[in-house]
Amino acid sequence: MKKLLFLFVLLSAAIASQAQWTMQSTGFPQASVGIEYIHAANQNVIWATGFDGSGSNVKLINYTHTSDGGATWTAGDLWSSYQTFSNAMIFGLDANTAWMPIYDTLGTAGGRIVKTSDGGLNWVEQSTATFAGPGGFPNVVHFWSAEEGFCMGDPNGGYFEIYTTADGGDNWVRVPQANIPAFVSGEFGIVGYYSVVGNTVWFGTNKGRVFKSSDKGLNWTAGLVAPSWGTVYVDVDFLDLNHGIAHHRGNGAGVATGDKYETFDGGASWSLIVQTGPLYLSSFAWVPGLPNTMVATSGANDNPGIAYSPDGGHTWTDFDDTTSMYQFLATAWADNTHGWAGYWTDATNPATVGGMWNFTGTLTDILNIDPKEGGAKFYPNPGNGNFTCAIIGFENKDVNISIYNAVGQKVYENNVRQSLISFNEHIDISGLGSGLYVAHIQSGNKVITEKLCIR
């Protein structure tokens, strides 16, 4: 255990020496506007929405975006057209194209999906996703391309209001009730609480359930994360088609425990994560290109900070200089060198000072892996025998994973077809008993050896 702790100290020192957070101006003209949601289309194009943090509970319907990685941000709003509305989130496909689900804050006029094709200069209402009042309330919109997308809203007319489109939202088609599991009493979706990997979509509800579609939103299944989560607002983040995290985000009274459950079968079953390190609750994000690495933020006055986890949410370490004075809101990452965390606009010069933090540096050292050389790490290690093997940098598409016991007997073997340069493989050898093992990960002529410990 002392050696493992020393390893994380070394990793913390490595990341501290190469990483820093710098402030950017989001361009919102109002003071104390925080960032509620961020979508990074790539390392240059980022779209975000704001909210009022002044304490006056002003409902905003605004957005900001950048096409140069945050060096310059351009803000705008839809207040003149939708004076009783606010936005749920934003999805930006590129520098010109974005969609927002918006909802009536008075609870009478329902919701809308609006789209811009000119970088936010003009927004067009896509009326075929009706979200009719008073029950209509859109939570999420996502696009796989300029044509294919889906959006999801609360139950309306007896079932969850979900639409798909094949023409960029010019025409939305509501998913039939028969394709969607029935909602439980009082159940609804949460703004921005969803995840997408390939054609598969997940979203969480306020009743601890996770809905899943494997065909871009046309057919759905649903399941409860944990028996005790029947009144929990659940957020979901999937790293690949099998491995995902469900976050306890409160119970309607604002009470969030920070508990996390993980799945290795796409959400069919979940197990509690035992977390160590700082516990942050504001926002969570996987880091694309780094297997099993997450970032979490905290906007709590008494517990602010940004932390990273190299083992899928089990162990957390603070970024240097992020815990003393700043509140950090939504976070999003384009890759291991480009990340953003929301903040507040300045009280005196809001249009030119503050609103966003930008990460510069590299997160690769967290895993102690050189992507050019390739490598593999097992998490958690030591562990109970349920490991995640995080693999990065192999060029050959065929990967062999073999595990040997202390006397050299092969006790596990699996050949996997690698779909990405970085990926994760779940390995269950919990039935082998406690002890030391050696794993060999081979791709072509490249072999990585890793010691494993089952406690």
Are 32 and 57 within 8 A, CB to CB? Answer: no
Q: Kindly report, residue by residue over 352-409, the tens digit of the pLDDT.
A: 999 999 998 877 655 555 555 567 778 778 888 888 787 776 666 688 899 998 888 8
* Domains assigned to the chain: 2-367 (2.130.10.10), 375-454 (2.60.40.3080)
The span from the CA of 384 to the CA of 398, in Å, is: 27
Residue 18, C-beta contacts closer than 8 angstroms, at least 6 positions apart: 361, 362, 365
- pLDDT tens-place string over residues 233-270: 999 999 889 899 999 999 888 888 899 999 989 999 99
C-alpha distances (whole Å) from 250 to each of 6, 328, 334, 357 are 34, 18, 27, 26
Specify the pairing of strand 234-238 against strand 221-224.
unpaired
* Spacing of C-alpha 270 from chain mean position: 18
Q: What is the pLDDT of residue 8?
A: 33
Q: What is the pLDDT of residue 447?
A: 79
Residue 213, amino acid:
S
Cβ atoms 297, 282 nearer than 8 A: yes
CA distances to 61, 124, 137, 197, 369 from 172, in Å: 23, 14, 16, 22, 45
What is the model's pLDDT at position 45? 97
Phi, psi dihedral angles at 315 (to 5 degrees):
-125, 130
CA distances from 84 to 54, 119, 137, 317 (A): 19, 23, 14, 41
Per-residue pLDDT, 78:
96
Rounded to two decimals, the pTM is 0.83
Radius of gyration of the chain (CA): 22
Residue 364's pLDDT is what? Answer: 64
CB 427 within 8 A of CB 416: no
Q: Which of 350, 334, 325, 285 is nearest to 70 (CA)?
A: 334
Identify the pLDDT of residue 15. Answer: 39
How far apart CA 363 and CA 373 sit, in angstroms, is: 16
For position 84, what pLDDT does the model report? 94
Residues of the chain with pLDDT under 50: 1-17
For residue 251, with 0-12 CB atoms within 10 Å meaning exposed, 13-18 middle and 19 or more buried, which class applies?
Answer: middle
